[in-house]
Structure 1
Amino acid sequence: MHTRKWIPALAKVTIYRGSPTLPCGSCGFTLLELLWVLFILAILLSAVGPQFSGAMFQMALEKKASEIFMALAWVQQQAINQNTTLGLFCDLTEGRQKVTCYRAIGYDSQGQPIIDPNNVLRNPLTQKPYLITINQEELSHDAKLTEANFGGNSWVEFNSLGEPNQQGRITLAGASSAQTIVISRIGRLRFE
């Protein structure tokens, strides 16, 4: 004859349709427990939220600075490939900040390049003018192109050897951080 052994740990477990279940008083969460979890999550999110938005701004700033860096490198390489002089102009005017890659059609009496809007360099992928706009809504209202200084000018030109006419820097900045691109006298580009 077969006898069943009594196991005290399973004394409160009942069999319902072939599977063991806990008594109904132990199922789920109480409303108070749920409110405590939501309260703790709210505190954690309020602490992390501002840091997250700061990180998003920093990423947008780095992305825009990288676009300008790539435009500089591209113009430099195109000047070498085409055996000519090509340039990059930074418009610091509030509200319409932009960076334009160009081939000058001449120079005015102050030595500033004359840029023909129909003669700007074109992006090889899109065949549209190579133009980078600094959109304040994209970055935040306090982020802007704060400096483009190449020997007192806001433009730089690369000769057929890839050398700039002036060393200088371009700075894109916000309230809490900045990205600066430096061009050395020999044409080396780097972030600072």
Structure 2
Amino acid sequence: MSKVETPSAEKKYNKWIVLLSVAIPIVVAVLFTVKIPNVEPLSFLPPIYASINGLTALVLIAAFVAVKNRKLKLHENLMKFAIGLSVAFLAMYVAYHMTSESTKFGGEGLLRYVYFFILITHILLSIVVIPFVLITYVRAITKNFERHKKIARITFPLWLYVAVTGVVVYVMISPYYV
């Protein structure tokens, strides 16, 4: 049985957590301003990356069930898969926006307010969840499972909300894609 590493073992990852937590949103924001000229718009991507969001939500739920049933290796593999799905989503999302104009929501009335509430909370929490996911992952790989469990209780609902609302945003805006 491997020994539990101390919180100091986590410290060597702190620079990476801070760097990625700051760099990812900044790079995404900068890339949003970049349009690749003379490239066919990647208009086929939104339903794919929305599906990846949906799959991420299902994988997160499966990982939660696995850990509750003490299937720890399955939980670990599912969580690594969820992180990979999130990276794939982000790459496709950025690629789409670098080749296509943003789609405007055309709904009116209360639906418009609901859409923008979901969109804004989705965007803000997608930024907030980055350090939570990274810290939670580091606490697992450093075998600090008590601290891992404490932060996972926060990370899981945040990440699940971001994954589910990503699908909801797509469904709500999909009629307005050109």
If the length of structure 1 is used for normalisation, what is the TM-score? 0.26
Higher helix share: 2
- Structure of greater relative contact order (alpha carbons < 8 Å, 6+ residues apart): 2
If the length of structure 2 is used for normalisation, what is the TM-score? 0.28
Higher strand share: 1
